[in-house]
């Protein structure tokens, strides 16, 4: 199948097999643990340090570092794929060797590839001036076929493809259709049953394990375990964008016209579900902070927003109850086109 020129440019920009070792970032553009501040107008992050634990379960023991899985067994070449709903910035994806297949952003009659032809900063700068409400289209079956074929051509022996909930988009259906079209190629497609930054911890962990040569079955199990311990909370300014996008699910019970009301949402069983509505905005943020605190000890905490100011404000509120590193990014265009202005937090609870 012919490759689209646009997707070719996307794939060519993905560094396959990039592995972080020790405290090094391969291109200083992003890493698993991001510190510092987002720069306005682009997707760069100033990074003080990056690290990950390359834990490998081999022959019943735990080892760390770049080692083959066992004597006499060559290293696996598993590669990780996701779509742009995961909110991985292009620099971050390149740094950890993840291929992000972009979704379409439909903006005032233009069809733009998320993260390729429009960045989050550009999207939110244009949003207040649009004449029609933006919407999204999922990456196509052909896009995924092209991505998978490219990876196999680059030496991948297996692919793990992780995507947002099938109840929120047809992205995972298209990925599965591409897998079926390429059968019996070893492609494992996971419906994460979450969305946005809730995908981050599982994807970054998968990328780390893949870089260390872990087998597909082990990476799959780790992804599922992390997703089961990840909680997502989102505070939106209005439910109207979600209603227009047809993604409101059970959250429709929160529809109302309260002045300065801010619905807090989560994802349950793969669909958007209401937590409560709080007013004013400051109280809603404190309520989300308390929801995070009540989760107990955390392994990872990530936040995102639709402006530099909202991200900084949200980080300050969470810092009242969380002393660890708070990872930060934009709420990407795929998510923002469906939620409108919002902030979100994803927390991974400690596993026993």
Q: What is the DSSP string of 54-88?
A: -EEEETTEEEESS--SBTTBPPP-EEEEEEGGG--
Distance CA 197, CA 85 (A): 8
3-state secondary structure of 27: coil
- DSSP characters over 254-289: G----TT-EEEEEEETTEEEEEEEESSHHHHHHHHH
pLDDT at 261: 76
pLDDT at 23: 31
pLDDT at 62: 23
Produce one character per residue of 115-142: b if its CB has 16 or more CB atoms within 10 Å, e if not: bbbbbbbebbebbeeeeeebebebbbbb
pLDDT at 74: 42
pLDDT at 238: 63
**Taking the model in full, what pTM does it have?**
0.77
With CA atoms as reference, report the closest residue to 193 among 171, 208, 219: 171
Give pLDDT < 50 ranges for the chain.
1-74, 249-251, 253-257
What sign for the dihedral angle of Cα 193, 166, 221, 157? Answer: negative
pLDDT at 237: 72
112-154: pLDDT as tens digits: 999 999 999 999 999 889 898 899 999 999 999 999 999 999 9
- Look at phi and psi of residue 145 and say left if phi exceeds 0, alpha if psi is from -120 to 50, else beta: alpha
- Look at phi and psi of residue 97 and say left if phi exceeds 0, alpha if psi is from -120 to 50, else beta: left
The CATH-assigned architecture of domain 230-349 is: 2-Layer Sandwich (3.30)
pLDDT at 258: 52
Q: What residues does each domain of the chain span?
A: 5-49+73-228, 230-349
Distance CA 115, CA 112 (A): 9
Distance CA 352, CA 278 (A): 33
Residues 6+ apart with CB under 8 A from 180: none
CATH number of 5-49+73-228: 3.40.50.10170
Distance CA 176, CA 17 (A): 23
């Amino acid at each position: 199948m012919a490759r689209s020129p646009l997707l070719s440019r996307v794939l060519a920009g993905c560094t396959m097999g990039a592995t972080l070792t020790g405290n090094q970032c391969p291109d200083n553009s992003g890493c698993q643990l991001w510190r510092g501040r987002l720069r306005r107008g682009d997707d760069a992050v100033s990074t003080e340090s990056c690290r990950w634990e390359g834990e490998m379960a081999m022959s019943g023991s735990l080892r760390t570092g770049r080692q083959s899985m066992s004597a006499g067994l060559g290293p696996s070449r598993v590669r990780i794929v996701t779509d742009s709903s995961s909110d991985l910035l292009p620099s971050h994806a390149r740094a950890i060797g993840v291929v992000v297949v972009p979704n379409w952003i439909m903006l005032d009659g233009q069809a733009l590839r998320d993260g390729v032809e429009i960045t989050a900063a550009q999207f939110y700068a244009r949003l207040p001036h649009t004449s029609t409400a933006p919407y999204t289209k999922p990456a196509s079956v052909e896009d995924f076929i092209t991505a998978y074929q490219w990876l196999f051509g680059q030496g991948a022996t297996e692919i793990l493809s992780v995507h947002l909930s099938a109840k929120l988009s047809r992205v995972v259906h298209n990925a599965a259709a591409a897998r079926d079209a390429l059968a019996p190629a070893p492609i494992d497609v996971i419906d994460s049953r979450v969305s946005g930054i809730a995908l981050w911890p599982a994807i970054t962990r998968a990328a780390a394990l893949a870089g260390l040569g872990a087998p597909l079955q082990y990476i799959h199990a780790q992804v599922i375990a992390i997703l089961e311990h990840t909680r997502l909370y989102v505070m939106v300014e209005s439910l109207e964008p979600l209603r227009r996008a047809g993604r409101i699910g059970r959250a429709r019970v929160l529809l109302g016209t309260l002045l300065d009301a801010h619905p807090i949402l989560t994802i349950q069983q793969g669909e958007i579900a209401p937590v409560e509505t709080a007013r004013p905005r400051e109280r809603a943020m404190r309520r989300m902070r308390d929801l995070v605190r009540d989760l107990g000890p955390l392994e990872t905490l990530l936040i995102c927003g639709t402006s530099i100011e909202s991200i900084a404000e949200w980080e300050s509120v969470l810092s009242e109850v969380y002393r660890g590193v708070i990872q930060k990014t934009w709420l990407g265009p795929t998510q923002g086109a469906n939620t409108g202005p919002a902030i979100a937090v994803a927390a991974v609870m400690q596993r026993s």
